[in-house]
């Protein structure tokens, strides 16, 4: 007899449902996991019809919960089912060592999802760009808003980082799925919003682009390396990305100009007390190969 487990697509919802199913020993092949936010309750959840007596407690390693939290944030629709199968095998199937088995098919799949999610979290920490919108008149705290489009449902997982770092500011990060809001004391979450709810630019973006342009070395063009770490899907929300094409296009000309520049002659040393003192250097290390290490002072 198949049970339909209709849940909101969050780790908390999956965990409480999985705990309930596991207590009744429901086999993974008998559960049909449904994302309630996708189906909008077309399917009413069937009343549970569990044959076995509930197990008192289910214990799983802490590593499993960490893995599950990341996997649940993924968007692949098979994730809840495979995660439950993994849980069932670890908790009831006598395969306690599964978490140390990256070669197992279910573990492998979950690891891939978890890794994709943690990469997305890392990129969110990197690529969120706050825009100053005002100052709180009561306490003088600056207020910032950012717009970001993560690939997975990671707003909750990624937000504690911003809380620790920007605790003395007031900020909101808006995403299509869920928004995070920090008022200086408490982190709260709201439903998703649209790009138009966030400011499009910040007065400092120009200065930031100036820095980005100046720190780029045209003599070492490696566009592929840049794109593998900063995929183009993120570019539309990065203020510096709009000058990338110009930088690439002009790099050849700039390098030619460097190479065509006549070499500068050496200028004599100015008469400076400090420079003069350097000439009376202590004994120089002259051995060509550092086979004999210099002794510590």
- In the window 201-230, what residues touch other proteins (CB under 8 A)? 202, 204, 206-208, 210-226, 229-230
Bridge-based pairing of strands 187-191 and 170-174 is unpaired
With respect to other proteins, which residue has the nearer C-beta, 27 or 275? Answer: 275
* Helix axis angle, 155-165 to 105-127, nearest 10°: 40
Among the listed residues 59, 186, 196, 267, the single contact to other proteins using CB under 8 A: 267
Closest by CA to 121, choosing from 70, 173, 60, is 70
140 near other proteins, judged by CB under 8 A: no
94: left (phi over 0), alpha (psi -120 to 50) or beta: left
127 near other proteins, judged by CB under 8 A: yes
With respect to other proteins, which residue has the nearer C-beta, 72 or 128? Answer: 128
Stretch that binds other proteins, among 29-37, 39-47, 150-158, 288-296 (CB under 8 A): 288-296
Closest by CA to 114, choosing from 71, 62, 158, 65, is 71
Assigned token pair, 4 = 């339909």
137 near other proteins, judged by CB under 8 A: no
Of 12-51, which residues contact other proteins (CB under 8 A)?
Answer: none
CA 239 – CA 281 distance, rounded (Å): 49
Min CB(89)–other proteins separation in Å: 13
Min CB(279)–other proteins separation in Å: 9
Among the listed residues 43, 100, 190, 200, the single contact to other proteins using CB under 8 A: 100
CA 245 – CA 157 distance, rounded (Å): 33
Of 162-201, which residues contact other proteins (CB under 8 A)?
Answer: 163-169, 184
**Do 89 and 29 form a contact (C-beta atoms < 8 A)?**
no
With respect to other proteins, which residue has the nearer C-beta, 14 or 130? Answer: 130
């Amino acid at each position: 007899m198949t049970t339909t487990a209709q849940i909101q697509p969050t780790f908390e919802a999956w965990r409480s449902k999985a705990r309930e199913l596991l207590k009744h020993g429901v086999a993974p092949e008998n559960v049909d996991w449904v994302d309630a936010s996708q189906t909008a309750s077309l399917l009413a959840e069937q009343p549970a019809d569990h044959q076995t007596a509930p197990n008192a407690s289910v214990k799983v390693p802490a590593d499993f919960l960490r893995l599950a939290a990341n996997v649940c944030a993924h968007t692949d629709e098979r994730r809840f089912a495979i995660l439950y199968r993994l849980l069932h095998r670890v908790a009831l199937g006598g395969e306690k060592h599964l978490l140390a088995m990256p070669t197992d098919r279910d573990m492998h799949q979950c690891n891939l999802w978890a890794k994709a999610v943690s990469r997305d979290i890392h990129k969110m920490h990197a690529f969120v760009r706050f825009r100053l919108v005002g100052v709180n008149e009561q306490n003088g705290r600056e207020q910032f808003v950012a717009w970001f489009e993560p690939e997975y449902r990671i707003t909750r997982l990624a937000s504690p980082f911003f809380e620790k770092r920007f605790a003395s500011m007031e900020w909101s990060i808006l995403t299509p799925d869920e928004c995070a809001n920090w008022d200086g004391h408490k982190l709260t979450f709201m439903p998703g919003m649209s790009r138009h709810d966030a400011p499009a630019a910040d007065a400092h973006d120009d200065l930031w682009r100036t820095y980005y342009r100046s720190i780029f070395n045209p003599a070492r063009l490696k566009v592929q390396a840049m794109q593998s770490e900063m995929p183009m899907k993120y570019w539309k929300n990065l203020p510096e990305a709009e000058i990338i094409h110009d930088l690439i296009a002009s790099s050849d000309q700039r390098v030619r100009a460097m190479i065509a520049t006549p070499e500068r002659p050496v200028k004599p040393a100015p008469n400076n007390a400090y420079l003069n003192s350097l000439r009376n250097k202590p004994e120089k290390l002259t051995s060509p190969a550092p086979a004999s290490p210099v002794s510590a002072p």
